[in-house]
């Protein structure tokens, strides 16, 4: 098994008690996840894995995602332009400051 160089965890608002109904899901996280997967593929970034995950506990700043191993936490990822900037950050090694959570 080839391990990914980067792993993006996208909040899908999963909760232990049922359906994903949290902030990120309501703000279109699933659509952005699809766009992220497609854009990574288009750019040939096969070493970037993507997983949907449970609530990252930054709901008020969602949609949220985390990039590892960089440990970059991003919030307000509400557009394809935001996803593009985050993928750019993975490629360049420089975080997308506009979306970084403190």
Q: What is the closest distance, in whole angstroms, from the C-beta atom of residue 69 to ligand FES in the complex?
A: 20
- Contact between 48 and 82 under an 8 Å Cβ cutoff? The reply is no
Among the listed ranges 16-24, 44-52, 66-74, 89-97, the one in contact with ligand FES (CB under 6 A) is 16-24
Tokens of 41: 């593929």
With tokens 């608002």, the residue in question is 13
Q: Among residue numbers 35 through 74, which ones bind ligand FES (CB under 6 A)?
A: 55-59, 62, 64
Which residues form the interface with ligand FES (CB under 6 A)? Answer: 11, 13, 22-24, 55-59, 62, 64
């Amino acid at each position: 098994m080839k391990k990914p160089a980067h792993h993006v965890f996208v909040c899908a608002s999963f909760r232990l008690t049922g359906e994903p109904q949290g902030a990120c899901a309501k703000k279109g996280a699933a659509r952005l996840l699809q766009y992220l997967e497609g854009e990574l593929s288009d750019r040939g970034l096969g070493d970037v894995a993507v997983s949907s995950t449970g609530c990252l506990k930054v709901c008020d700043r969602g949609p949220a995602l985390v990039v590892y191993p960089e440990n970059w936490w991003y919030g307000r990822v509400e557009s394809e332009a935001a996803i593009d900037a985050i993928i750019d950050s993975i490629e360049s090694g420089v975080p997308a400051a506009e979306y970084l959570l403190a």
